[in-house]
Chain A
Amino acid sequence: MSDAILTLSGVSADIDQYHILHGVDLEVPAGELTVLLGRNGAGKSTTLRTIMGLTTVTAGEVRFRGEPITGQPTPRIARQGIAFVPESMGIFSMLTVRENMVLAAVSGRMDEQRLNWIFDLFPPIKKFWDRPAGNLSGGQKQMLAIARAVIEPRELLLVDEPTKGLAPAIINDLADAFEQLKSQNVSILLVEQNFNFSRRLGQSVAVMSDGKIVHRGSMADLADNEEQQHELLGLGLGEHQ
């Protein structure tokens, strides 16, 4: 296993009076795609939000490239090279597609080469360039959300359930796009429920339950071991779309 770009050790976090995370230990290897699996309410989304500094850490430490980022304000964490695509996608629907991209390019201008690469990756972005982002379909919004995350070179991508509510054909397109990103040596932490999608993309995997990591290993091992899938995820994931 290569060096970890992101390490969580014993991270606990609260939302209001509820304890959501109870000592999460997680490593995201550099240049790989790690999938975070688990049932609804296991704390996957909260883990991503905690890394971004959107929930308050009550114990433990988050390190990015070896440096602690625990308790830093969200904008500072983002500027160190972490992009976050939340489950809601967080599209600014009153802004045009172009303005969404302009905003995501923190340095102030968009690199033309990179933009063309994105246009190739997600053709609808080019097609609806000057339309309000609110008019896009669900799949197109997801593409925009990911496009925003990669308009500038970032070292780590946190993506929360990109396939949620999308048609199979679009999920395939997304998977292709993630393959491309992987080949560019970007580290990705992906929260997913769709096991087929995860199996296709994931290199390493972590499984959460009740606010803790209960399993860590390679994706290939978990994919082959149906018994373990049952035990960790509660159902045969082979048939779970």
Chain B
Amino acid sequence: MSALEKTLDNKSARRERPWKALGKGPRARFAAFREEKPHLFLLALMMLVPLFMINPTTWAVLTISGLAMGAMVFLMASGMTLTFGLMNVLNLAHGAFISLGAFAGATVLTVWLNGYSGDSSLLVNLVAILPALGFALAVAGLVGLLFERLVIKPVYGDHLKQILVTVGGSIILLELIQVIWGPNEIPVPRPDALRGAFIVSDAIPLIGGIALEKYRLIAVLLGLAVYGLMTWVIDRTRVGVLIRAGVEDREMVEVHGYRIRLLFLGVFVAGSALAGLGGAMWAMYREIITAHMGDELMISVIVVIILGGLGSIKGCFYGAILVGLINLYVGFLEPRLAAVATVGLMVGVLMWRPQGLIPVIKV
């Protein structure tokens, strides 16, 4: 590198990272942390500030619940962020897949395998729960396949038309759900093994004695498992390399001989299936479902993918946790402001970092 290039490089580096000018002190280190790891910075801030307003045991319960909600929202949002990142497709019908998964899962739990989910043994419950989640995954994935071929394929590359046809497609899907399952809300009793709570031993300081709902812990674990699996696929496998490459430059992926449409179809189906899984989890969490539940959850999903940076799985994960936490904290302090706080968080982050916390693509 020539001397001139080096100075130019330094200059641009300074322009991009002005906090470097602060030197090496703790303030500079803090600024560097804030700018280079904005997701962790915001997460820490989000968890610490409420500690001053809420007593520690309540805080712990809220935090676990927030993580659980975040995990479920992550399942729903991950597919949408990837379809956008990979193919620049904005699927506003994503919420309908959440509803679809919820209804599919509920059918297995309450109709087909009702006897099993009513039993109090965990093993017997699992006979109902696992097929329910699997069925939700499969139905949403299959409908996703049809949806991509019939509705989205003809409008690649045209955002306006994508918004229009996916809004139309969403109406159709929601109406079909009501045709099949009827227009009324359906109660989904949670299987017995997932009811109840663990009591944290009194020996542990601060949070001793609090009750952690089992289901929330399971949601957190499932969310982490899916996040781990997705991270592994994306970071370590060949398909993951192709997906990351496709997010960056579709044309060059084709130039190397890969059919990106097929790859995209796969991602779309997987994303729809995950939305369905998230919907089924949400159904058991809320224990009541309506066709329009997906629309309501879409707001959280949209906030999450904007927060995280469109196309970023990592950003989506942290965004989902932030949304889950702020919902629970604010919901506890002033229930009426939970939704406003969620959207406020999004607007705030956009003002600070217009591309989201962990941007991958330039839109």
Q: Which residues of B contact A78 (CB under 8 A)?
A: 254-257
User: In the complex the two chains form, is B259's CB within 8 Å of A52's CB?
Assistant: no
B156 located at the interface, meaning its Cβ lies under 8 Å from any Cβ of chain A in the complex: no
| Majority secondary structure, A binding face | loop
Among B242, B248, B251, B257, the residue within 8 A (CB) of A94 is: B248
B245 located at the interface, meaning its Cβ lies under 8 Å from any Cβ of chain A in the complex: yes
| A56-114 residues at the B interface, CB under 8 angstroms | 73-75, 78-79, 84, 86, 90, 92-95, 99, 102-104, 106, 108
Number of A-B contacts (CB under 8 A): 60
A121 → B minimal CB distance (Å): 19
User: In the complex the two chains form, is A103's CB within 8 Å of B245's CB?
Assistant: yes
Looking across the interface, which residue of chain B has its beta carbon closest to that of A96?
B241
Looking across the interface, which residue of chain A has its beta carbon closest to that of B254?
A74
- How many chain A residues sit at the interface, stated as a range, is 20 to 34
Q: Which residues of A contact B2 (CB under 8 A)?
A: 167
B258 → A minimal CB distance (Å): 6
| B223-254 residues at the A interface, CB under 8 angstroms | 238, 241-242, 244-245, 247-249, 251-254
Looking across the interface, which residue of chain B has its beta carbon closest to that of A139?
B1
Given contacts A92-B245, A92-B249, A95-B244, contact A75 B257 (CB under 8 A): yes
Query: How far, in whole Å, are A75 and B251 apart by their CA atoms in the complex?
Result: 10
User: In the complex the two chains form, is A90's CB within 8 Å of B241's CB?
Assistant: no
A131 → B minimal CB distance (Å): 15
A137 located at the interface, meaning its Cβ lies under 8 Å from any Cβ of chain B in the complex: yes
User: In the complex the two chains form, is B251's CB within 8 Å of A92's CB?
Assistant: no
Given contacts A92-B245, A108-B238, contact A79 B257 (CB under 8 A): yes
Query: How far, in whole Å, are A90 and B238 apart by their CA atoms in the complex?
Result: 19
Q: Which residues of A contact B247 (CB under 8 A)?
A: 94
B360 located at the interface, meaning its Cβ lies under 8 Å from any Cβ of chain A in the complex: yes
Query: How far, in whole Å, are A103 and B118 apart by their CA atoms in the complex?
Result: 50
User: In the complex the two chains form, is A102's CB within 8 Å of B241's CB?
Assistant: yes
Query: How far, in whole Å, are A95 and B252 apart by their CA atoms in the complex?
Result: 13
User: In the complex the two chains form, is A90's CB within 8 Å of B259's CB?
Assistant: no
User: In the complex the two chains form, is A103's CB within 8 Å of B255's CB?
Assistant: no
Looking across the interface, which residue of chain B has its beta carbon closest to that of A167?
B2
A235 located at the interface, meaning its Cβ lies under 8 Å from any Cβ of chain B in the complex: no
Given contacts A99-B241, A102-B241, contact A74 B255 (CB under 8 A): yes
Looking across the interface, which residue of chain B has its beta carbon closest to that of A74?
B254
Residue ranges of A at the interface with B (Cβ–Cβ < 8 Å): 52, 54, 73-75, 78-79, 84, 86, 90, 92-95, 99, 102-104, 106, 108, 137, 148, 167
Q: A75-B258, A92-B244, A95-B241 are in contact. List 6 more A-B contacts (CB 8 A).
A: A54-B251, A84-B255, A86-B255, A90-B255, A103-B242, A104-B256
9 A-B interface contacts by CB (under 8 A): A54-B255, A74-B254, A90-B249, A92-B248, A99-B245, A102-B238, A103-B241, A106-B258, A108-B238
Residue ranges of B at the interface with A (Cβ–Cβ < 8 Å): 1-2, 238, 241-242, 244-245, 247-249, 251-260, 360
